[in-house]
Amino acid sequence: MTPARQLWIVDDDLSFCDFLRQTLTNQTDYQIAGMSHSLHDAKHHLAQHQPDLVTVDLSLPDGSGVELVRWLQQHYPSCKKMVVSLWGNDDLVFRAFQYGADGFLQKDKLIGMEITAAICALEDGGTPISPKIAKRLLGHFQMIQTEQAAPIDDCQLSDREREVLQLLAKGLLYKEIAELLNLSPHTVASHVKRIYKKINVASRGEAVFEAQKRHLL
């Protein structure tokens, strides 16, 4: 029998921790390995337990969840890191993705079905992002000026890959992109892998940033 995948919750909001615990226990295959309510406590316990997935709040009483995302990426890169937080400033969100976040959900808009769908998307290789956050990220990237933007033709993206990239930038899940383009989620995932390879990135946040630099959006 395959052992249950382990999930650790890092958040100082006890009521929200309880909401996540009940939702994830009832609607996913993950087992809640534990919870931490501070950055220091999280590092201490995660070093011992090394779960498959960690949900991270950016605002912790003794530091930023961004620091925890970076620490996890450095020490346990195979661990999935899902930020679940109230909206921070653009710089915090961008750094969360830069340091290795695999997804970002807006806590105050979150319902049980959304967190479940986001975890399923992670398992399928996606990078779930709340639409409002994706929009803010795109707006942030559009303000960044680059002196040496690569020509569009250098990437050699197909028309279909460009369509997928544009929908990724809007924060859509693989399943949603598949429905819009009349494709299977597996085909969408294959397109995303090719896009990442062509523009030399490893995550949705990096892809949107790089695509904006190259004038692909």
Q: Is the pLDDT of residue 148 over 60?
A: no
The answer to whether domain 5-123 and domain 145-213 are alike in fold is no
State both tokens at 30.
Answer: 């993950």
pTM: 0.67
Distance CA 164, CA 175 (A): 12
Domain range summary for the chain, segments of one domain joined by +: 5-123, 145-213
Rounded to a whole number of angstroms, the distance between the first and last alpha carbons of the chain is 46
Class of domain 145-213: mainly alpha
CA–CA distance, 178 with 188 (Å, rounded to integer)? 6
SS3 4: coil
What is the pLDDT at residue 143?
59
Second-level CATH architecture of 5-123 = 3-Layer(aba) Sandwich (3.40)
pLDDT for res 208: 79
Q: What is the pLDDT of residues 54-105, one digit of tens each?
A: 999 999 999 899 999 999 999 998 899 999 988 667 778 888 888 899 989 8
